[in-house]
Chains A and B, each alone.
Chain A
Amino acid sequence: DAKTTQPNSMESNEEEPVHLPCNHSTISGTDYIHWYRQLPSQGPEYVIHGLTSNVNNRMASLAIAEDRKSSTLILHRATLRDAAVYYCILRDWGGSNYKLTFGKGTLLTVNP
């Protein structure tokens, strides 16, 4: 199953943009790229997903490289409530493998 690679941690200042990278060099043509975040003492929550084109929603933007081997989650103006662990995963529905690998994610610290 395809894996993703993320930095262990990143730091940002409040009200500044944050770009969280994710590498997925073995992505297949039927993999969707999903991002989740986990606030302290909570279960993970969905942030955004995409296939090939860049995506925007009220929480964030997702920029996907043309070759799809990497993506970037963009928080346009970080707030203290955005401090969390962010996970990038691939969901493959083209074959019979439905295992999902979350890994350790990126711990985002937001400074006031």
Chain B
Amino acid sequence: QVQLQESGPGLVKPSETLSLSCNVSGGSITSYSWSWIRQSPGRGLEWIAYIYYSGSPKYNPSLKSRVSISVDTSKNQFSLKLNSVTAADTAVYYCARSPRWCSGSSCNPLHFDSWGQGTLVTVSS
């Protein structure tokens, strides 16, 4: 059974870059799409980005100018970078897995069927 585990600093200073990694165990990272999702009290669940090991990542337009997602197949992990953070970026950050559906050469992620435990990131000086 696949397991996802987030890691990274729990405290980030305003204007700096938030960096998180998600380690995937119990399954290959090449078989699914992988997302970052966050949850803060004021904004509920917010999808940030997804990536497949090949192809272009997709980003939430509301964060696209500040976010980057990448995958390292050799380590079976994927990562998130969010720059120029403010207090509004304080949230629990989850990594999650999605099966994919393909039609011709176009593939899209489906529902989130496995989630990490989440990691709280606080933006504060």
Check if A and B associate: no
